[in-house]
Amino acid sequence: MNLILLGAPGAGKGTQGKTLSESYSIPQISTGDILRANVRNKTPLGQKAREYMDKGALVPDDVVVNMVVDRIRQDDCLNGFILDGFPRNLNQASVLETTLKGMGKKIDLAIGIDVEKKELVRRLSGRRVCRKCGASYHVIFNPPVNIGMCDKCGSEIYQRDDDKEETIEARLNVYEQETMPLIEFYSAKGLYRSIDGIGPVDKITKAITDAIAEGNDNL
């Protein structure tokens, strides 16, 4: 199964992607995680990507597409994969479709996790990350025991530049302009399913797995 998770920043794609990856034993491919790792390690790709990420803008298509395609070609993707945060626009979707076709693969389903903008801002602006081990927290939903300190390693936790309110607005605007058309793209192919992203995590997971089961029945 080759699955795409669509949704605005903060919709919960990462959380659901991890759960689905464990349930179906296929890798979760998160462009956000890969890009942030490159930024953290100060690789050439990371230096280039950071210029855009700090502004809340999308990283250029050529950088992202090449990175994702290389990942899909790895052996652990032979039985399927979950794309989290990719594609982000119609150009990326088109290149992905062409590339997969050349590999004898295709996208089986695109799941959209829907969350209203006000809730997205609340979720994103409260996120915090450990500088050393990368553990994630939230000032409302999952605060650390000691303010400003990681529970796991004791290092400083901080707010990423792309989780600050002024940047969040830019990120959501970019999403609406660039990514929303993907709903029409995959709907036209009969591959799109919309899921309500408000509520308990396990309830959302159940809705997604039900959509996947229904989609597999129709394959």
Q: What is the pLDDT of residues 81-131, one digit of tens each?
A: 999 989 989 999 998 999 899 999 999 999 999 999 999 999 889 999 999
Given the residues 50, 127, 128, 193, the one annotated as active site: 127
What pLDDT shows up at residue 217?
Answer: 61
Catalytic annotation on 160? Answer: yes
Joined tokens for residue 190: 């009969």
What pLDDT shows up at residue 5?
Answer: 96
Token pair 């950071």 is at which residue?
A: 50
Tell me whether residue 24 is exposed, middle or buried, using C-beta atoms within 10 angstroms of its C-beta: 0 to 12, 13 to 18, 19 or more.
middle
Catalytic annotation on 122? Answer: no
Given the residues 13, 50, 71, 193, the one annotated as active site: 13
Neighbouring CB atoms inside 10 A of 189's CB total 12
pTM of the model: 0.79
What pLDDT shows up at residue 8?
Answer: 92
Given the residues 88, 123, 128, 193, the one annotated as active site: 88
Residues 129, 72: Cα–Cα separation, whole Å = 27
**H or E element: which one contains 167?**
helix 165-174
Catalytic annotation on 131? Answer: no
Which residues, 6 or more positions from 194, have their beta carbon under 8 angstroms from its beta carbon?
112, 114, 183
Given the residues 50, 71, 128, 171, the one annotated as active site: 171
The pLDDT tens digits for 163-211 are: 888 889 888 988 888 888 999 999 999 999 999 999 999 999 999 999 9
Given the residues 48, 55, 122, 160, the one annotated as active site: 160
